[in-house]
Each structure stands twice: as structure tokens, then as C-alpha cells.
């Protein structure tokens, strides 16, 4: 992985109430601290300075941008954790991938596991992998690249990145799974565009969105 150079600037807040904090994470910023003082700067730490009770619910990879939800109370944290565990949330991503992806819609149903000798890489393993399912829809395509909307139905580490790679259409700018394109793009072309959750207090469905910056 390249040297950690987190972006500066304010974190865009999409929504805030007594229970929830929704933000648009910039690409290049860790969700939580890494090992060592050089990896201390992260989204959670930055948010805690303004929202001291912010509690982590889920993560996005360092080089993925987009919508993340944090809880502001213990009750909200428990409620949201259950929603993620029981797959009651709905997540939508946008990505730019290599080549013309066909057919235009489909599902990738391939089990994933950590590739131990090559951590943090993950890989498909039909013997010991954990079930992982991703739906996709092509938005536009050329012979060089396709713009796709991705719908993860599970939350495995690097799921979208490995599933696209398994189709032969890796995400552009991905240092880990498509390193030959990393220098050609300013970032990995993967963005968490939309997240739907139920509010911890009243159960009302709420959708939060941040348009892709690419």
C-alpha cells in the first residue's frame, strides 16, 4: 500500500440528530485508527472532536469514499448494529471498472476469505470462504471502462473489489487488486453512494445519499 497521506479539510455532515450522525467520508482517510502513530488520523477521531459520543457502526476501506453512519447514543449503536447484522440496511455503491461489463445486470455469488500470505488481500474460496453476494447494474459502458452501480447483500471485507475482479473487471485505481491502473487515477473509483437505515427511535426508514465525486 502507498504511504498514508490522509486528506485535509472538513468532513461533510449529511445529517445529524440526537441519535444519528451521517457523513460523507473522503477517499484516502481511514475509518478507524491503524496500527502505529502514523495511522492515528482517521474519520472516527476527527468526528469525536466535534461529536464526543460518536460510536462506530461500520467501516469503509481507506480508499473508498461515501456515506457512513455513526451512532450518538448507546441505544442507537445497539439498534444500528442489529440492522447491519441482520442485513436490514440497504447499501448502494458506484464504481468505474475496467472494460465493458456484460451482461448489463447480474449477481456475483462467490464466498470470500482472507488471503493469509498476502494480507490484507481477500480471495474467493469455495471450501472455507464466507458467503458473499453482490448485485450489479451497468450504467454506461465503453470498451475501456464501465460505470456500474453495486448492491452488496453481505458485508465481507473488500467484497465489491474482489467480486469485480472475479468477473475480470477490477475497479480502476485500486492499488491492491488492480495496481497497474493506480498511477492513472487520483484515487480508487469506488464510492458508497446511498445508505438506507431505520431510525433507532421511531423505526422510520431513512435514506442518505452523497453523489460520487468521479
pLDDT of residue 165: 98
Q: What is the pLDDT of residues 97-135, one digit of tens each?
A: 999 999 999 999 999 999 999 999 999 999 999 999 999
Q: What pLDDT digit, counting tens, does each position of 46-103 carry?
A: 999 999 999 999 999 999 999 999 999 999 999 999 999 999 999 999 999 999 999 9
Would the pTM of this model clear 0.75, i.e. be above it? yes
**Radius of gyration (Cα) for the chain, nearest Å?**
17
Task: Please write down the HEC assignment for all residues of 94-161.
Answer: EEEEECCCCCCEEEEECCEEECHHHCCCEEECCCCCECCEEEEEEEEECCCEEEEEEEECCCCCCHHH
User: Which positions are annotated as active-site residues?
Assistant: 61
Mean pLDDT for the stretch of residues 23-40: 95
> What is the band of 142 on the pLDDT scale with cuts at 50, 70, 90?
very high
Query: Over the stretch 190-205, which tens digit does the pLDDT of each residue have?
Result: 999 999 999 999 999 9
pLDDT at 2: 77
**Mean pLDDT for the chain?**
97
Per-residue pLDDT reduced to its tens digit, 174-184: 999 999 999 99
> Which of 60, 52, 17, 56 lies closest to 204 in space, CA to CA?
17
What pLDDT is stored for residue 24 in this prediction?
98
- Checking if the pLDDT of 1 tops 90, the result is no
Give the C-alpha separation, 173 to 158, whole Å: 14
Q: From CA 51, how far away is CA 75, in angstroms rounded?
A: 16
Quote the Cα angle for 115-120-124, to 5°.
35
Amino acid at each position: 500500500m502507498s504511504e498514508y497521506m490522509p486528506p485535509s479539510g472538513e468532513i461533510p455532515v449529511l445529517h445529524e440528530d440526537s441519535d444519528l450522525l451521517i457523513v460523507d467520508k473522503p477517499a484516502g482517510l481511514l475509518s478507524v485508527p491503524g496500527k502505529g502513530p502514523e495511522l492515528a488520523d482517521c474519520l472516527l477521531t476527527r468526528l469525536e472532536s466535534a461529536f464526543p459520543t460518536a460510536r462506530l457502526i461500520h467501516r469503509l476501506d481507506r480508499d473508498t469514499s461515501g456515506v457512513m453512519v455513526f451512532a450518538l447514543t448507546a441505544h442507537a449503536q445497539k439498534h444500528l448494529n442489529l440492522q447491519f447484522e441482520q442485513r436490514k440496511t440497504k447499501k448502494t455503491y458506484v464504481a468505474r471498472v475496467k472494460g465493458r461489463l456484460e451482461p448489463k445486470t447480474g449477481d456475483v455469488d462467490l464466498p470470500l476469505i482472507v488471503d493469509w500470505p498476502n494480507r490484507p488481500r481477500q480471495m474467493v474460496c469455495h471450501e472455507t470462504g464466507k458467503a458473499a453476494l453482490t448485485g450489479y447494474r451497468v450504467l454506461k459502458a465503453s470498451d475501456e471502462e464501465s460505470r456500474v452501480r453495486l448492491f452488496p447483500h453481505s458485508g465481507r471485507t473488500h467484497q465489491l473489489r474482489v467480486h469485480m475482479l472475479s468477473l475480470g473487471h477490477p475497479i480502476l485505481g485500486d492499488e491492491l487488486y488492480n495496481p497497474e491502473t493506480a498511477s492513472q487515477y487520483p484515487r480508487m473509483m469506488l464510492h458508497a453512494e446511498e445508505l438506507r437505515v431505520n431510525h433507532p427511535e421511531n423505526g422510520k426508514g431513512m435514506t442518505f445519499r452523497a453523489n460520487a465525486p468521479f
